């Protein structure tokens, strides 16, 4: 009684017509809402074709479990052709983000040890803690300058700098100096290039970049410029460390950063290292900063919850006697808040895999090779999955209620987010320092929605007021 693939509901017969409708609904910016709507129309599974992009979409945690069991040993996500086309066009190597198969696995295994294994946390935390302290000092200064004992602002640019400073300090073992008054214009340019790179990627999910390139389309040209800016800045940082490493031969006891560790380990080619370090540097800016912005926004909307978190942080501080690694083990509610933020405001609208074996989901047969997408944004807001999904409730992650395949903001399995440990530590330390220093408030009655620019972003500036405690 298993039903065949062709009976899965949805619009998958005419990709061009669907692309036209998608475009009419301003789909390039509304992908998350369109997915939600499709689940409402078709139920928990639907098949779709927009432009040349074809997929089966699912929403339930139990179905996600089936999907990830069929991901194989070399899990493969949707190929973002804009990104691979740029690399091919400029003759640059793919890093771990874009590699596949055995090449991906062998690189990933080595990177895992230096970037995501639990033992590296003790190296990262002191570096990230220092950046967090500097951020707070910077905000205090800004508040003083207003002369009003508070600072009302759109924090996104400040958070981009915090995130870039954080990820760079871990990758290079060195500070860029972005928490200072005068910042390197090259670093600001790098930040702007990442935003432009994401923004220009989304239309190219549906229209082949090769075609856009042939007709000299502006999106393609902008995209190339954005990646050029990203690679130039990363190349500068990488060369800097490489030169230093060749000069000094005495091995110091200080942790030298991910890049120097990889170079000394000598297990990956320099070109492979450069490619993945560039991806880590570029992947480490908008993702954590926007998640922190959403978290501050939610804490501003929930003052009582904000006080609860502050109390948890104060108790953790007292119990850990200045040991930050210990402190990070004592803040379950802060961790719950970050999960809750990613539930309601995920960076990635969906997770995807090309399945390597036939599976059955919702009683439909899905053949091996199909691109299956889990609608992460839709799942986070589904009342069948989360009790009262509209409510921001970090404590739901502390209860015993089943969390089976529900906390998927960083993806799952061997292909999950490589920056996850960095991101988590960086965000937890940020919240610790902010809660210890400031009260966050916002104007009432201002609801902010998301817009899709490859990652989900706030659709308008989020204005927050910071007051010293
Ligand atoms: C992949 C989310 C921060 C680097 C991913 C994926 C997701 C994700 C959903 C795809 C995982 C999958 O397919 O299962 C996030 C979120 C972040 C974050 C929510 C912060 C809140 C970062 C940071 C870095 C980073 C800080 C770099 C330091 C990467 C890389 C991949 C990846 C390199 C590709 C890994 C691979 O293909 O093997 N991220 N990310 N991410 N992320 Fe992140
Ligand atoms: C976007 O339909 C929507 O972590 C598409 O740090 C499917 C899709 C494929 C890959 C996803 C992408 C979505 C969102 C952004 C992700 C990306 C994989 C990695 C990337 C989730 C869901 C991200 C932001 C990386 C980016 C690193 C890069 C800048 C070097």
* pLDDT tens profile 246-290: 887 666 778 999 999 999 999 999 999 999 999 999 999 999 999
pTM passes above 0.90: yes
293 Cα–ligand 2 center, Å:
19
249 Cα–ligand 2 center, Å:
39
Q: Does residue 287 line the site of ligand 2, with CB under 6 A?
A: yes
pLDDT tier at 15, thresholds 50, 70, 90: confident
Q: Express each pLDDT in 41-100 by its tens digit.
A: 999 999 999 888 899 999 999 999 999 999 999 999 999 999 999 999 999 999 999 999
d(CA 38, CA 47): 10
Ligand that comes closest to the CA of residue 168: 1
Q: Does residue 327 line the site of ligand 1, with CB under 6 A?
A: no
Q: Does residue 80 line the site of ligand 2, with CB under 6 A?
A: yes
438 Cα–ligand 2 center, Å:
32
Q: Which residue's alpha carbon is nearest to atom 29 within ligand 2? A: 283
Average pLDDT over residues 312-331: 97
Q: Does residue 349 line the site of ligand 2, with CB under 6 A?
A: yes
- Ligand 2 atom with the shortest distance to the CA of 197: 29
What are the CB-based long-range contacts (under 8 Å, 24+) for 255-258?
255/123, 255/127, 255/173, 256/173, 257/169, 257/170, 257/171, 257/172, 257/173, 257/174, 258/114, 258/115, 258/170, 258/171, 258/172
Q: Which residue's alpha carbon is nearest to atom 23 within ligand 2? A: 283
Q: Express each pLDDT in 347-357 by its tens digit.
A: 999 999 999 99
Q: Does residue 371 line the site of ligand 2, with CB under 6 A?
A: no
Average pLDDT over residues 403-415: 96
HEC assignment per residue over 145-189: HHCCCCEEEECHHHHHHHHHHHHHHHHHCCCCCCCCCCCCHHHHH
Ligand 1: which of 106, 276, 287 to mutate, most ligand atoms within 8 Å of CB?
287
What confidence score (pLDDT) does residue 249 get?
A: 66
φ and ψ at residue 212, rounded to 5 degrees: -60, -35
- Ligand 1 atom with the shortest distance to the CA of 279: 33
Q: Does residue 350 line the site of ligand 2, with CB under 6 A?
A: yes
What confidence score (pLDDT) does residue 445 get?
A: 80
Q: Express each pLDDT in 131-149 by its tens digit.
A: 999 999 999 999 999 999 9
Ligand that comes closest to the CA of residue 422: 1
Ligand that comes closest to the CA of residue 415: 1
d(CA 74, CA 225): 31
């Amino acid at each position: 009684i298993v039903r065949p693939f062709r009976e899965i509901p949805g619009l998958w017969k005419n990709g061009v017509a669907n692309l036209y409708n998608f475009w009419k609904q301003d789909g390039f910016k509304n992908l998350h809402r369109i997915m939600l709507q499709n689940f409402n129309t078709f139920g928990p599974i639907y098949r779709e074709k927009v432009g040349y992009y074809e997929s089966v979409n699912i929403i339930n945690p139990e179905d996600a479990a089936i999907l990830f069991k069929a991901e194989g040993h070399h899990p493969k996500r949707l190929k973002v052709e804009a990104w691979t086309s740029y690399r091919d066009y400029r003759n640059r190597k793919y890093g771990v983000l874009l590699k596949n198969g055995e090449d991906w696995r062998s690189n990933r295994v080595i990177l895992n040890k230096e970037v995501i294994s639990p033992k590296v946390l003790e190296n990262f935390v002191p570096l990230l803690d220092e950046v967090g302290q500097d951020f707070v000092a910077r905000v205090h200064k800004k508040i003083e300058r207003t002369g009003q004992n508070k600072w009302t602002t759109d924090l996104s640019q400040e958070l981009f700098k915090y995130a870039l400073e954080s990820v760079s300090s871990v990758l290079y073992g060195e500070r860029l100096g972005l928490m200072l008054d005068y910042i390197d214009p090259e670093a600001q340019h790098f930040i702007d290039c990442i935003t432009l790179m994401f923004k220009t990627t989304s239309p190219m999910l549906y229209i082949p970049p090769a075609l856009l390139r042939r007709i000299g389309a502006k999106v393609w040209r902008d995209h190339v410029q954005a990646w050029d800016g990203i690679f130039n800045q990363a190349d500068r940082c990488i060369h800097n460390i490489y030169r230093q490493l060749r000069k000094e031969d005495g091995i110091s006891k200080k942790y030298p950063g991910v890049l120097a560790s990889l170079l000394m380990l000598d297990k990956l080619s320099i070109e492979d290292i450069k490619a993945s370090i560039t991806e880590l540097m570029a992947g480490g800016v908008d993702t954590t900063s926007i998640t922190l912005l959403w978290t501050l926004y939610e804490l501003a909307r929930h003052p009582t919850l904000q006080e609860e978190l502050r109390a948890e942080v104060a108790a953790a501080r007292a119990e850990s006697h200045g040991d930050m690694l210990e402190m990070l083990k004592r803040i379950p509610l802060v961790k719950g808040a970050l999960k809750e933020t990613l539930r309601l405001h995920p960076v990635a609208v969906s997770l995807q895999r090309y399945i390597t074996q036939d599976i059955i989901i919702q009683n439909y047969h899905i053949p091996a090779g199909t691109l299956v997408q889990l609608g992460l944004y839709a799942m986070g807001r589904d009342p069948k999955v989360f009790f009262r999904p509209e409510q921001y409730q970090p404590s739901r992650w502390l209860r015993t209620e089943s969390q089976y395949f529900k906390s998927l903001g960083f993806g799952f399995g061997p292909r999950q987010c490589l920056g996850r440990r960095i991101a988590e530590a960086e965000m937890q330390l940020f919240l610790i320092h902010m809660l210890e220093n400031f009260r966050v408030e916002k104007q009432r009655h201002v609801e902010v929605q998301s817009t899709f620019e490859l990652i989900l972003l706030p659709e308008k500036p989020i204005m927050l007021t910071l007051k010293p405690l």
